[in-house]
Structure 1
Amino acid sequence: MYWAEFFTVALIHLLAVASPGPDFAIVVRESVGFGRRAGIYTALGVGVGIFVHVAYSLLGIGLIVSQSIVLFNALKWLAAAYLLYIGIKALRAKPADPASLDLDKPAGERSARGAFVTGFVTNGLNPKATLFFLSLFTVVINPHTPLLVQAGYGVYLAAATALWFCLVAMLFSQQLVRAGFARLGHWFDRLMGVVLVGLGIKLAFTSLR
């Protein structure tokens, strides 16, 4: 009965998640810098972050945020500050010790928790995701659709997001790919820093309407 609605939600989500943004940038950076394990935990953090957006969309809190310039700006500036923080850290990257470029050795120190939290915070604080999920749950999904079915959509969205970024992590953590990026050394970190700072600045100038 709800298959048509589900496929519409799935298609819109696919187009949105495939569009490069903060989530993509942070998963790529973690995967290249720290290896597959860190990249996958970051991807899982991004996926779990989706539940934050789904939860407040189902509770109607997203509507309140979208109608409050103060709340929206608070979320926007917090997210922008976080992206600028990790972006500036990347910009300050120094050339690596040649010995550290041996990819047969374990990847740089990065805890699973640290990688997961990075992905979770990056996604959970994104106000553009707030507007996306608000429009999804108020315009695309019929308000008469049972709450349990809507929650099922949310589970799918979180799982699909995590799966997509796990694939991204697996791609960018491959030995051949990482070896190519490793030759660029700190320049890759700086490039990703520019991307993250740019996304942070762009986010800071995002308007509610």
Structure 2
Amino acid sequence: MDYLSEFITIALVHLVAVASPGPDFAIVVRNSISYGRRIAMYTSVGVGLGILLHVAYSLIGLSVVIKTTPWLYSAISYLSAAYLLYLAWGALRAGPSDSAATVSATGQTAAISPKKALLSGFLTNGLNPKATLFFLSLFTAIINIETPFAVKAIYGVYLAFATGVWFCFLSYLLSTSRVAKLIGDKGYWLDRLMGVVLVALAIRLVTL
């Protein structure tokens, strides 16, 4: 019962965190609008796999090292910001000619491969230092130090799975025919908006 209570607390905290707009949200929305449901799903799975990276280093205590070593944390922050700016550059350059690939129902081939989409999701989440702080607090402040390693690992698998499911649901929602019709030929404006969001997130990473 102690573990159940702990798990429920973790699940609720994670639900709030994953639903909050951030780099993961921006890249999934961007890929959903630009390349359609299939690519967005691969991106979502990549985001979920990125969670496993944070879980792995949290379980072995590296998250504390990262947080308590300013230069290492700064290096990760700048690397993450650079990657977000790279993604933003592609989004900001979107134009009417790209909108043909907006909806998967068009039957056209996506402009990026599933492998690249998976990698983009993984890197966006895996390089996010804010996620480092989240998992540091999760595994030190919420999860009891006496909780067995195996139970902590189960928590981690759940967090990765739940994250992937959430963003897959978001991908599905954004690519439904009704939403696609609403977006129509102006989908590239939403793509550009996500580019602006990514730039803002990159700036925030290196200034806070």
Normalising by the smaller structure, the TM-score range is over 0.9
For residue 196 of structure 1, what is the amino acid of its counterpart?
Answer: L
Shift of 1:192: 1.3
Which structure 2 residues correspond to residues 1-209 of structure 1 after superposition, within 5 A? Answer: 1=1, 2-96=3-97, 103-206=105-208
Shift of 1:185: 4.0
For residue 193 of structure 1, what is the amino acid of its counterpart?
Answer: G
Q: How many equivalent pairs are there?
A: 206
CA shift digits 1:102-144 (9 cap, x unpaired): 8533253321101100100000000000000000000100010
Shift of 1:203: 1.3
Q: Relative to structure 1, is the Cα distance of residues 185 and 6 closer, same or farther in structure 2, using a 3 angstrom cutoff?
A: closer
CA shift digits 1:8-27 (9 cap, x unpaired): 11110011001111101111
Shift of 1:100: 6.1
Alignment RMSD, CA only? 1.7
Q: Relative to structure 1, is the Cα distance of residues 94 and 64 closer, same or farther in structure 2, using a 3 angstrom cutoff?
A: same
Q: Secondary structure at the match of 2:96?
A: coil
Work out whether residues 44 and 121 of structure 2, in 8 Å CA contact, stay in contact via their aligned partners in 1: yes
Q: Distance in 2 between matches of 1:100 and 1:93?
A: 11
Q: Relative to structure 1, is the Cα distance of residues 175 and 62 closer, same or farther in structure 2, using a 3 angstrom cutoff?
A: same
Q: Which consecutive segments of 4 or more residues in structure 1 shift more than 3 A?
A: 97-103
Q: TM-score, normalised by structure 1?
A: 0.93
Work out whether residues 45 and 119 of structure 1, in 8 Å CA contact, stay in contact via their aligned partners in 2: yes
Q: Relative to structure 1, is the Cα distance of residues 107 and 28 closer, same or farther in structure 2, using a 3 angstrom cutoff?
A: farther
Q: Between Structure 1 and Structure 2, which shows a larger proportion of helix residues?
A: 2
Work out whether residues 92 and 191 of structure 2, in 8 Å CA contact, stay in contact via their aligned partners in 1: yes
182-191 vs 95-104, which deviates more? 95-104
CA shift digits 1:36-69 (9 cap, x unpaired): 1101100000000000000000000000000010
Q: Distance in 1 between matches of 2:112 and 2:15?
A: 29
Work out whether residues 67 and 73 of structure 2, in 8 Å CA contact, stay in contact via their aligned partners in 1: yes
Work out whether residues 80 and 204 of structure 1, in 8 Å CA contact, stay in contact via their aligned partners in 2: yes
Q: Secondary structure at the match of 2:49?
A: helix
69-78 vs 31-40, which deviates more? 31-40
Q: TM-score, normalised by structure 2?
A: 0.93
The percentage of aligned residue pairs carrying the same residue is 54
Shift of 1:173: 1.3
Q: Secondary structure at the match of 1:13?
A: helix
Runs of 5+ unmatched residues, structure 2 = none
Runs of 5+ unmatched residues, structure 1 = none
